[in-house]
């Protein structure tokens, strides 16, 4: 995961440092003062033709004072490279642009304290930009369930095959382990075999599942599951829904209807960590149809470049709650923005 971005970030560090060595910096102190020093210094060494001595002196003085100045021009090339790396890591274009803009604003024209290396300053800016996106509106699923009126109704949405049903089974296992009473609603009444697939999980986990026949109204199934939870003092209803394309108007309308009738406490958008640019469009349209509370990214055990997490969090403004990291019930990891960014940037 993240290899390409890591490699590019290394290049970015180097390239910024080289820029600073090669190009003269704006003087930090009064130019006149610099010139006096230049005269005194001049006889001692020959100035290299490509780097005027005054520039070197000014920069040296800035560095002595613990400062470095980055110009937009210095940043242009390295930032372009970094943007390409973000794009190659599956961060969607508008998201990559907004991250790069932020870093440019953060770094350019400022007298940065030169405590460590310039590369570290650049890395901090990138870390801040990504952490800001990933830490928006934090939501701790376990705390939410603990603190909320029961039953907590959770509806899962997403396109076909992203891992909604498997994730429901994983969450049911997780909740069961914390002694939280769970009911599962077989809200995918559309795909042949969907009810049986979920039933198998429910049986294996020893969790009650409410179902109707295939082709019936999913809102009615979930409604019944909520009623069951109320009368049997269950804490959480996990409601499956059929996978649907975000461009299918009728099926998206059906999702809105489910939301209107059920009034879920949480709507969780499930997508794949390996999703590319299209993840942004999907997340946006699902979020527009039925506002989501957070996302779960599955298949993070596959060769994920990590970009989908950044893109989806940015476009929805909602947190990533968990990562699916395999096909077993235990393969669900709470999403930790700090952990994610450290892995992204580790050398």
Ligand X SMILES: Nc1nc2c(ncn2[C@@H]2O[C@H](COP(=O)(O)OP(=O)(O)OP(=O)(O)O)[C@@H](O)[C@H]2O)c(=O)[nH]1
Q: Decide: helix, strand or coil at residue 185.
A: strand
| C-alpha of 283 from chain center | 12
- Given a contact cutoff of 8 angstroms between Cβ atoms, the answer to whether 167 and 332 are in contact is yes
Tokens of 248: 């299918």
Contact yes or no for 55/25 (Cβ under 8 A): yes
Binding to ligand X (CB under 6 A): which residues in 265-304? 298-299, 301-302
Q: Is residue 16 within 8 Å of 116, Cβ to Cβ?
A: no
Q: How far apart are CA 236 and CA 147, in angstroms?
A: 12
Indicate which of Mg ion, ligand X, none lies near residue 181 (CB less than 5 to 8 Å, by partner kind).
none
Question: Which helix (H) or strand (E) covers residue 235, if one does?
Answer: none
**What angle do helix axes 3-22 and 337-345 make, rounded to 10 degrees?**
60
Calculate the CA dihedral of residues 258, 260, 262, 268 and round it to 10 degrees: 70
Residues 58-87 that bind Mg ion (CB under 5 A): none
Binding residues among 75-114 for ligand X as defined by CB under 6 A: none
- Residue 125 CA to residue 127 CA, distance in Å, equals 5
Q: Which of 89, 165, 287, 293 binds ligand X (CB under 6 A)?
A: 165
Residue 288 to residue 157: CA distance in whole angstroms: 12
Residue selected from 52, 109, 161, 291 as contacting ligand X according to rule CB under 6 A: 161
Place of tokens 């109704």: 153
**Binding range to ligand X, per CB under 6 A, among 20-28, 61-69, 155-163, 258-266:** 155-163
**If binding is defined by CB under 6 A, does position 160 make contact with ligand X?**
yes
User: Is 119 flagged in the annotation as binding?
Assistant: no
* Partner whose footprint covers residue 161, from Mg ion, ligand X, none (CB < 5 to 8 Å by kind): ligand X
Binding mask 115-154 for Mg ion (x = CB under 5 A): ----------------------------------------
* CB nearer ligand X, residue 273 or residue 344: 273
Q: Is the dihedral of CA 147, 291, 318, 283 positive or negative?
A: positive
**Chain residue at closest Cβ approach to ligand X:** 243
Of residues 301-330, those binding ligand X (CB under 6 A): 301-302, 324-327
Query: Would you say 58 is a known binding-site residue?
Result: no
Nearer to Mg ion (CB atom), residue 71 or residue 216 = 216
How distant is the alpha carbon of residue 36 from its chain centre? Answer: 52
Closest CB 95 distance from ligand X, rounded Å: 23
Closest CA to 302 of 272, 264, 322: 272
Q: Which of 112, 164, 211, 282 binds ligand X (CB under 6 A)?
A: 164
The item of Mg ion, ligand X, none sharing an interface with residue 324, based on CB under 5 to 8 Å by kind, is: ligand X
Minimum gap (Å) between residue 184 Cβ and ligand X: 12
Residues of this chain that interact with Mg ion (CB under 5 A) are 164-165
Residues of this chain that interact with ligand X (CB under 6 A) are 158, 160-166, 188, 191, 194, 243, 298-299, 301-302, 324-327, 331
């Amino acid at each position: 995961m993240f290899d390409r971005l890591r490699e590019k970030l290394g290049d970015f560090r180097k390239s910024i440092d080289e820029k600073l060595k090669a190009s003269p910096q704006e003087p930090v102190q009064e130019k006149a003062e610099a010139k006096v020093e230049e005269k005194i210094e001049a006889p001692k060494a020959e100035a290299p033709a490509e780097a005027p001595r005054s520039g070197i002196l000014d920069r040296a003085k800035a560095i002595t004072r613990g400062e470095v100045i980055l110009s937009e021009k210095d940043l242009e090339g390295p930032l372009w490279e970094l943007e390409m790396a973000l794009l190659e890591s599956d961060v969607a274009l508008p998201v990559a642009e907004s991250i790069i803009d932020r870093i440019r604003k953060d770094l350019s024209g400022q007298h940065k304290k030169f405590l460590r290396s310039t590369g570290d300053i650049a890395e901090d800016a990138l870390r801040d930009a990504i952490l800001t996106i990933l830490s928006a509106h934090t939501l701790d699923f376990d705390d939410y369930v603990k603190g909320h009126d029961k039953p907590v109704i959770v509806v899962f949405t997403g396109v076909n095959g992203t891992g909604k049903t498997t994730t429901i089974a994983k969450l049911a296992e997780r909740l069961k382990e914390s002694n939280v009473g769970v009911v599962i609603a077989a809200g995918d009444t559309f795909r042949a075999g969907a009810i049986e697939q979920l039933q198998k999980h429910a049986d294996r986990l020893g969790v009650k599942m409410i179902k109707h026949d295939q082709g019936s109204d999913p809102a009615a199934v979930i409604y019944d599951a909520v009623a069951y939870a109320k009368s049997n003092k269950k804490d959480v209803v996990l409601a499956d829904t059929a996978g649907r394309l975000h461009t299918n108007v009728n099926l998206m309308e059906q999702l809105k209807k489910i939301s209107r009738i059920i009034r879920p406490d949480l709507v969780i958008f499930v997508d794949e960590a390996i999703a590319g640019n299209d993840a942004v469009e999907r997340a946006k349209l699902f979020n527009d149809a039925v506002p989501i509370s957070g996302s779960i990214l599955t298949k993070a055990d596959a060769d994920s470049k990590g970009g989908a997490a950044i893109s989806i969090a940015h476009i929805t403004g909602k947190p990533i709650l968990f990562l699916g990291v395999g096909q077993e019930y235990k393969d669900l990891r709470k999403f930790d923005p700090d952990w994610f960014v450290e892995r992204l940037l580790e050398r």
